Structure 1
Amino acid sequence: MTLEKGYGSGGGSYVGDNSTSPTDIHPAGGFWSDKTWKDLNPSTSPVRPFKRKQIDESNYLLSIGEEIYVSAPGGKSTVQKLQPNDRFSIDAGQFAFLLTEEEVVMPFDKIGFISIRATAKFWGLVNISGFHVDPGYKGKLIFAVFNAGPTRIHLKRGDQIFPIWIAALDQPSTRTEYKVGYYEIPSKLINQISGEFTNAYQLAEKLKAAQEDIVQLKSFRVYMMAIIGIVLALMSPFIKDAVTRIYDTIKPQAICVGACQQLPPTPPGGQSTTP
């Protein structure tokens, strides 16, 4: 066991334990087994507070903590503070930041790997943040997630959906001081995902709706042409009679105009000058 200098959550320096392994012998680069997790001392565990009931096979299940942020149209959403068992939802196409309940204090000779449980993945929740925890990291973890599924996902504080695996390095990192991480969701992260986004399911639904509108427009055009044809067929006798009457009215005038232009003028007395 070795001692290393590090930083506390308040920024001050302190001397911390650099080896949280329950024994001094571990295979180089090996992942911790469930027995290794169960043999940990809660006071020196890399996960704090440490609860053995959250050990799942060879990983430890981190839970959703007191702060979350879910994106909203126009960037109107803010960080939410959750009480124990408070519920929230992530709609399809929304991003979210989820702060863990537990603090992670990663030894300098270990590295962590993080993910989302398969159950949440089946709902469509995707981890878009980092997938590892550096040696010497101290703080809570922020998971950036995206709902790529077709429906709303309901979660609550305390849900254990983030597994973490720990593997031993072949030798300790050259880092000698802990890297202080997050204890709240910072505003600089929120500014990067403000707004609402469209996932593949929503895009498919919009394309489907557009196709239905096109089909309806085509059907409407066919109906209108059919109606116009029927109206014209029904009104054709009336139209023919009207055209005939108009033609009969105009024809004598046209004949008179043509004939009158060819006749010579009649002299006074009414006698024709034609020999």
Structure 2
Amino acid sequence: MSFLGNKAILDCLKKGKVIEAFEEQRIKNGAYELSLGEQVFLTNSGSKEIKNVEPQGVIHIEPGQFALLLTEETVKIPKDKIAFISIKAKIKFKGLVNVSGFHVDPDFKGKLLFSVYNAGPATIVLKRGDNYFPMWLAELSEKQNYKGTHINQNSIPSSPIEALSQGEFNSPQALMKEIGQSNSRITSLEKDNKANNYIAITALGFVFALLLKLAFDFYALDKGWDKAIEYNKKQVNIDSIINQRLLDKKQLLQEIELLTVKKDNLIKTK
């Protein structure tokens, strides 16, 4: 397999075998540069419908979003040749990645469809009519007939649109933002949980301290009551002893008084 150079590509174009109404200045570095056409489909579009781009109009492919891009040119690949397609480096460096096929079958006729993804950090702007898609041609050893389903393709088919319309596509930046927000919520919940644990432990400690104080107070009260009873018993004993002494003293005074009377009577008798 050998690739065609600029002169061989020009010869094919002049014979009308590859691209009608071609522009010779688009033949560069052994490839023909195809341009962005009228129809595009963007996953960041709210309508989820094919968008028709006006001549010289622009489209915006947001970060993390897919797009289906149809070429302006209709190509006709000869049966004895195969084409290889890509995206120009200056667009690739911005983050636009071709996720569709990289070759065109022999004998294919129609507009080419590129499925791309913006893996970069910024919005990529493309303009209708600008050259973004180089196409190389290579010789085959024998002729091949096209047996695919995209013959005479002149619009974006429904199948890739359905595949890209199943859900929302979030950019890596949006996903990182959501992860950051989730981490913030988790951190907040952890802080709340720690605060609740602290409050619970503090409350439990307070209740334990209160119960302990009540136990000591009850113990002290119980001991105090016992001491009071003991003190009263001692006081009663002391009062009993004093009363007994007073009675003994009274009885002694009575005996002394009686003896005094007897003494006086004896003296008078003499």
For the structure 1 residues 46 and 151, does the alpha-carbon distance in structure 2 shift closer, same or farther, using more than 3 Å as the test?
A: same
Number of matched pairs? 218
| Residues 1:120 and 2:91 are matched in the alignment | yes
For the structure 1 residues 213 and 177, does the alpha-carbon distance in structure 2 shift closer, same or farther, using more than 3 Å as the test?
A: closer
Partner secondary structure for residue 144 of structure 2 = coil
| Matched residue type, 1:130 | G
Q: CA deviation at 1:81?
A: 0.5
Q: Which has the higher strand share?
A: 1
Equivalent in the alignment of 1:64: 36
TM-score, normalisation: structure 2? 0.66
Match of 1:196 among 168, 172, 191: 168
Q: CA deviation at 1:56?
A: 1.5
Where do residues 163-178 of structure 1 align in structure 2 (5 Å cutoff)?
Answer: 163-173=134-144
| Matched residue type, 1:33 | G
TM-score, normalisation: structure 1? 0.65
Q: Which has the higher helix share?
A: 2
- 1:47 and 1:178 map into 2 onto residues whose CA distance is 20
1:90-145 alpha-carbon deviations (Å, 9 max, x no partner): 11111110000000101111110001111111111110111111111000011000
Q: CA RMSD in A?
A: 4.0
Q: CA deviation at 1:48?
A: 2.7
1:54-90 alpha-carbon deviations (Å, 9 max, x no partner): 11110011111000000138x7421001110111101
1:236-271 alpha-carbon deviations (Å, 9 max, x no partner): xxx9xxx8xx86xx65994399659x89xxxxxxxx
| Residues 1:185 and 2:147 are matched in the alignment | no
Equivalent in the alignment of 2:257: none
Conserved 8 A contact 2:17-2:78:
no
Equivalent in the alignment of 2:106: 135
Match of 2:67 among 93, 96, 105: 96
Partner secondary structure for residue 146 of structure 1 = strand
For the structure 1 residues 96 and 149, does the alpha-carbon distance in structure 2 shift closer, same or farther, using more than 3 Å as the test?
A: same
Q: CA deviation at 1:42?
A: 4.0
- 2:33 and 2:118 map into 1 onto residues whose CA distance is 20
Query: Larger radius of gyration, structure 1 or 2?
Result: 2
Partner secondary structure for residue 159 of structure 2 = helix
Conserved 8 A contact 1:125-1:149:
yes
